[in-house]
Structure 1
Amino acid sequence: MIVRVLDKVVFAVLFIIALQVPILADHYRQYLNGYYDALRDEITSSTEVAKQHGFPSVDAMLESLKQNSESVVRENANLKAERFAQITTLELGMRKLEHGHYFEKLVFMVSPSQYGTLNRVMKNFSPSIPLSPSSIVFSLVTAILLNLLIWTPHFCYCQVKKSKQKPPRYSYR
């Protein structure tokens, strides 16, 4: 009896946790959108500065700045180049979070390269329940599968134990 109650409690906890993935993905996407918008604004302003000073592109301006004799200017140019290179990764991540299915979103968010961003998003995250039917179904399926994965060894052990306690059946012909 206790095992059955515990099974239901474990399933309920897993279901509640699984329901948080779509909500977390939405918060994560919003965070990336804000960062993406700020980065696009920085690229736009850098493009205008490059044009004002006669450079054909931002990359040409950054390459020129990397050749500067001042180390602070070279370091700033390297940092800007790294940030500008992130834009493609951000676009890919936002696309996965917006159009991907439940497991694509989950894998993207918990990948090691995203731990820093995930920690920042988690600081402002508050649990809730998703409203889309697909999110609820994916969460339910995930909770069922995880629950089965957790409890299968116990139930197999119980079946083996039960079958050993029964006397063997003899067939008489």
Structure 2
Amino acid sequence: MIVRVLDKVLFAVLFIITLQVPILADHYRQYLSGYYDALRDEVTSSTELAKQHGFSSVEAMLESLQQNNEAVVRENATLKAERFAQINAIEQGMRKLEHGHYFEKLVFMATPSQYDTLDRVLDNFSPSVPLTPSSIVFSLVTAILLNLLIWTPHFCYCQVKKARSKPKRFSYK
């Protein structure tokens, strides 16, 4: 009796937790979108600055700045180059969060390189229930599978115990 109640409680908790993944992915995407907009503005202004000063590309301008005698100018050029690389990674992440399925979103957010961003998103996250049928179905299926995975050892143990306690019947021929 207690095991059945625990099973139901565990399933309910797992279902509520798995329902949060689509909502968290949406919050994460919104966070990345804001960061992406700020980076894109910086990239655009750097591109315009490069054209204004006669450079063939932003990369050419950054290479020129990295050759400068002043350390602060070289470090600034390095930071700008890193931001240019970041923008591509953010675009890929936003595509996964917007168009990916439940598990792609979960894996992307749980990647160790995303922990800092996930931590910032979780600071402002409030639990809720997703409204899309696909999110609810994925959450339900995931909760069922996790529940089965957690309880399988217990049920196997019970079946083995039950099989051992049955009296053995011998048939004589």
2:163 paired with 1:152: no
The aligned residue for residue 45 of structure 1 is 45
Counterpart amino acid of residue 115 in structure 1: Y
The aligned residue for residue 111 of structure 1 is 111
Q: Which runs of 5+ in 2 are unaligned?
A: none
Q: What does 1:95-106 correspond to in 2, within 5 Å? A: 95-106=95-106
The aligned residue for residue 67 of structure 1 is 67
| Aligned mates of 1:60, 1:41 — CA distance in 2 | 19
Counterpart amino acid of residue 88 in structure 1: N
Paired residue secondary structure (2:128): coil
2:13 paired with 1:13: yes
| Aligned mates of 2:166, 2:121 — CA distance in 1 | 55
Equivalent pairs: percent with the same residue? 83
TM-score (norm 1): 0.97
Shift of 1:169: 2.6
**What is the RMSD computed on CA atoms of the aligned residues?**
0.9
CA shift digits 1:49-101 (9 cap, x unpaired): 11121112111111111001000110010011001111111111111111110
TM-score (norm 2): 0.97
Shift of 1:168: 1.1
Runs of 4+ that moved beyond 6 A: none
Give the number of aligned pairs.
Answer: 173
Counterpart amino acid of residue 47 in structure 2: T
Shift of 1:171: 3.4
CA shift digits 1:16-36 (9 cap, x unpaired): 000000000000111111111
The aligned residue for residue 35 of structure 1 is 35
Q: Which runs of 5+ in 1 are unaligned?
A: none
